[in-house]
Amino acid sequence: MDTDRLRRAVVQNPLNIQAMFNAIAPKYDLLNHLLSFGLDIRWRKRALKLVEEKRSGNFLDIAAGSGDLSIEAIRLQPQTIVATDFAANMLGVFRNKLNDRKITNPIHLTACDALHLPFTADTFDVTMVAFGVRNFSDRLLGLKEMLRVLRPGGVCLILELTTPKVPVIAYLYTLYSKSILPMIGKLISRHNLAYSYLPTSISEFPANEEFLSLMKESGFREPSASLLTFGIATIYTGRK
């Protein structure tokens, strides 16, 4: 099986995604910061500014990974943050981070599938995902679950890696993501497919107009997109 077919096999099987993130969990933070040149930190801060109105509310962080979005959300003084992921090793890294930093704010970790959230409807003021929606095996179902558990008037916040549209930037980004990024990722993570899979998952993610239509189809009102760093990342929001 060639490399492209292997990547697609990872994308199509949620168990492969789960195994991949469990495998790279110890190096996940290092690779995120290194491969994004530290921009991922700024992007999370920018994204959370869009939900300032929900300060002191209840937040659900889906596909929370090692927890950087949840930890950044503490500055909004939420009543509670529930962080979920289906990769147990990622939540282990998250838990160690909370202990090491002596974070006592109300963050509760839960292992579950983003497509079948174990929460009642109308529970949270914010549902949020950073760099995780592209890994959902069924994005429409995942969006519907995010909508279901939101309270009326609640906000969905999605931060995702996307493909820039400016030709020069797009060319340089494609060169970086398909040649340099997999090489560095493999060297540090010791995982053959994880960072070869990444550019495939980004290139196959819907264009902004298509994803906003998907949000509207799932039931969100006022879906919008804000480009970051020439479109290398995008913030999507929608309201219940």
d(CA 43, CA 202): 17
What does pTM read for this prediction?
A: 0.91
Tens of pLDDT along 129-158?
999 999 898 999 999 999 999 999 999 999
Q: Which two tokens stand for residue 131?
A: 């760099």
d(CA 215, CA 218): 5
Q: State the chain's mean pLDDT as an integer.
A: 89
Where in the chain are the domains?
A: 15-163+207-239
d(CA 146, CA 234): 18
More confident site: 72 or 8: 72
Tens of pLDDT along 161-216?
999 989 999 899 888 888 887 787 777 777 666 677 777 788 889 999 999 999 99
Q: Is the pLDDT of residue 5 over 80?
A: no
Superfamily of domain 15-163+207-239, CATH level 4: Vaccinia Virus protein VP39 (3.40.50.150)
